[in-house]
Each structure stands twice: as C-alpha cells, then as structure tokens.
Structure 1
Amino acid sequence: MSQNSILLEKSLHFSVRIVKLHRLLHRHEDDLSAELLKHAAAIGSAVSCADCALSRRVLAESLNEALRETAQTEYWLRLLTLTDDVDVRTGASLLSDCTELRRLLTAAASAAN
C-alpha cells in the first residue's frame, strides 16, 4: 500500500508539472502539447484506479494501462524536446520523472501479476 501512495503522489506531481508545461506550450504548440497532456494525465488517472481496485486483475490492468501511458508520455516529451518546443533542461527533468514513474509502475505491475 505504501508503494501505491508513492505512485499516487509522484504521478500527481508529474501531472501538475505537465499541466504547467502545457499552459506554456499552448500559446504556440497546441496539438503536440495536448497529446502530452492527455497521456501524462492518464498515468495518474490509471494509478488512482489501481489504488481502489477491488481485485488483483483490475489492479494489474490499471497498472499496465499506466505503463502504456508512461511510454506514450515519454514519446511526446522526447518529440517536443527534439523539436525545441521544450528546452533541453526541462525535457530532461520531465523525462527523468517519467522514467522513475515507469520503474515504479513496472515493479508494482510485476507484483500484481
């Protein structure tokens, strides 16, 4: 349960950072930042669903969904950084946070399966 609390807190904090970035990018890059926002926010949403899962199967499905969304988020972060829409320092920091979430989700999903 403490691992879920860590995941909830980290995924929420990550989503807050992405929302703030989206607000900055929205002025000049709407489509790509919207994709980033959609997938990054879905990580936290899936983790929240996992936290209240009533069965091991639902828990595993929710954690696997969060993992898929993490992969999508990493893609959009890399793309936005490579196209210079996001500065390298911010992109690297967000990618680091996303990688940490992926590592925690992988461990939690393995334990749930």
Structure 2
Amino acid sequence: MVMVNLTIVNNSTAVRANVIAIRTNSIEIGLLKAMMIENLKEKMKNGIAHFIFQKKNGEFRECWGTTQAALAKAMSNGNGESREVFKTTAFFDVTKGEWRSFRWESLIQVF
C-alpha cells in the first residue's frame, strides 16, 4: 500500500508563502508559515485561537484572538483596507479588547 500526503494550497496561501519566502529567504519557511496562517485563520473564524508571534522589536507576543463574524461586525467600522493588502493578518485581541495584526513571517506557533 502506498500512502501519499497531499497538501492543497489555495491562491491566498500561495501568495502568503511567496511573500514569506522572499522576506525570510526560505521557500520551506514560506510554505510552512503560510499553512500555519491558514490554520490560524480557520480557528479564529470559528472561535478564539491561541497563538504566538514575534513583534517588530523582537519580543514574543502570546495572543488569544478571533475574527468571528458577529464580533468583527460589532467591533469595526468597516472603513479602510484589508490588512492582507499590507501582508499582515488582522485579529481581534480578546485580552486587550482591540484589533491587532501581525506580519505573516512573524507567526511562531498556533496552539
């Protein structure tokens, strides 16, 4: 019996993987982190996700965030551009009660 692992990459994931690969000089890291972001975005869409990213100043930030539709609608004014345009992912930080974002390549771990 031959076992095959298959990973399906959608267009958004491919774009993220390419941006991260350029920023980190590693195709492997680009693909790995892009897949982590897909996992994180799905978790945040369905509830509160726990994750860690590295801030621009080098500090590590542990977060609990969500993008659930009801909360996002209640906590945003709907103006402005998507954070994806800036190669970042936005989330509502439930501990700070504010919207935040992180650069794609800075994601360290999703729990």
TM-score, normalised via structure 1 length: 0.33
Greater C-alpha Rg = 2
Which of the pair is proportionally richer in strand? Answer: 2
Which of the pair is proportionally richer in helix? Answer: 1
Comparing both chains, which one has the higher relative contact order based on Cα–Cα distances under 8 Å and sequence gaps of 6 or more? 1
